[in-house]
Amino acid sequence: MAIPLHKRRKVADFDPVRDGKTVTQFCKELGISRQTYHNIKHRIAQKGRAGIVPDSTAPKNPFKKFDEADKIAVVHARQQLMEQGLDYGPWSIYYFLFDTPSPQPCPSRINQPSALDTDLQENRISNDPMHFQRNAKACSKCGSNNARGFADRIRPKTGSITPNIPMPTRIPLYLTVATTLRDEINSSVLVGYLPSESSLQQRFDVSRSVIRQALSLLESEGLLSKSQGRQTEVINPKRVHRVAQSLNGLGMQALLQEMDVRTKVLTLTRNSISGDITFRRIRFLDGVPFCVIDTQVPFEAATGVDEDSLEQSSLHDLFRSAGNMPTHSSRSITAIPASEELAALLELPVGAPLLVLSGNTTNIDGDEIERFTTFHAGTRVALDLETST
């Protein structure tokens, strides 16, 4: 059973001395084994915070269910049925190939849509009729008498037919259900406890296995908490509301909202020629990472800026302490998908939405004192805008 991310984060942040409890007590409260605890700790010790997110179990080279000859045969059969004005769905293609003699078995109905989608998009259609001959010896259990001439009895299609149109790729049902529930949780439409599986079945008109797949995915993302004998709890993510054009830094705005914010400096380097400082920070809200900040400070404004001071105070407070008052800032907002590096740091899936605030800040003399790019987790931060007339 997969351990949800919110439990993995608790294991990563647990310290027996600081928290005043033994590993056994902690594991019992969290509902995991000691072996699981030590496995997660060992992984984090090797990979850092990125080790909280488990590796994908998907095969790197999945087995292909169809070969090139299958794809060519299905595409040709579909074209012939379309030209004759007959139905060209999976069953019609199957029985068309069933009736065509050849020493090889015909492709299954499961493989036909994939073959059509791949070949039609790549526009690889052969004109050699020998490639199109298939047989159904392996499918004789279907009954040859019923299969013979099936395509001739199909109801003709009406209207014009446009060949070489790719078949749409179907999204798995559990992903559709998970996306809808995720949006409702992130927007606080769904709070408290999740409706029963039977209620969700009726709502989405899907099977129980589809619902369980969707809930398992959301649990792995830390949006649901399941425990035996209790109703599934919805974990609504806390959001930091940041006024995008305010000169008050993100840390100050979060503190004003009475949120527990912690900063960790990941890297800090000084240019040996210019003296400029470049550093990357990550900020946590109640132990959950919600933004990564890349900053460059010129030599003239870098007084008192070091790793310890950045983790204890905000950068703007350091500027003010040095008599370098921030007075103006130019900023822009964009949205991007999370790269592998940022997704690992923010404990998000690769491709998750990020809100990017970038720009520069100047002092009262108009001198630039910082350049910054802040990557906010889209589900944990809201960028607000204030206007006045």
The DSSP letter of residue 180 is H
Closest listed residue to residue 346, CA positions, set 225, 233, 264: 264
d(CA 13, CA 240): 21
pLDDT digits (tens, 9 = 90+) for 106-139: 544 445 455 444 444 444 434 333 333 333 333 4
pLDDT digits (tens, 9 = 90+) for 250-292: 666 666 666 778 899 999 998 888 778 999 999 888 788 889 9
| Cα dihedral sign, 188-194-195-197 | positive
Structure tokens at 28: 């019992």
**Where are any strands of DSSP class E within the chain?**
224-225, 233-234, 240-243, 261-270, 277-285, 288-297, 326-337, 353-363, 368-377, 381-384
Phi-psi region of 82 (alpha: psi -120 to 50; beta: other; left: phi over 0): alpha
Structure tokens at 376: 């906010």
Host H or E run for residue 215: helix 208-220
Predicted local confidence at residue 278, as pLDDT: 93
Predicted local confidence at residue 300, as pLDDT: 84
Does the pTM of the predicted model rise above 0.85? no
CA atoms within 13 A on the CB side of 81: 27
Supply the mean pLDDT for the chain: 76
At 64, the pLDDT band (50, 70, 90 cuts) reads low
Between 193 and 2, name the one with better pLDDT.
193
Of 27-41, 167-181, 344-358, least confident by mean pLDDT is 167-181
Backbone angles phi, psi at 116, to 5 degrees: -65, -45
Q: Between the CA of residue 44 and those of 13, 49, 97, 286, 287, what are the distances in Å?
A: 10, 6, 54, 19, 15
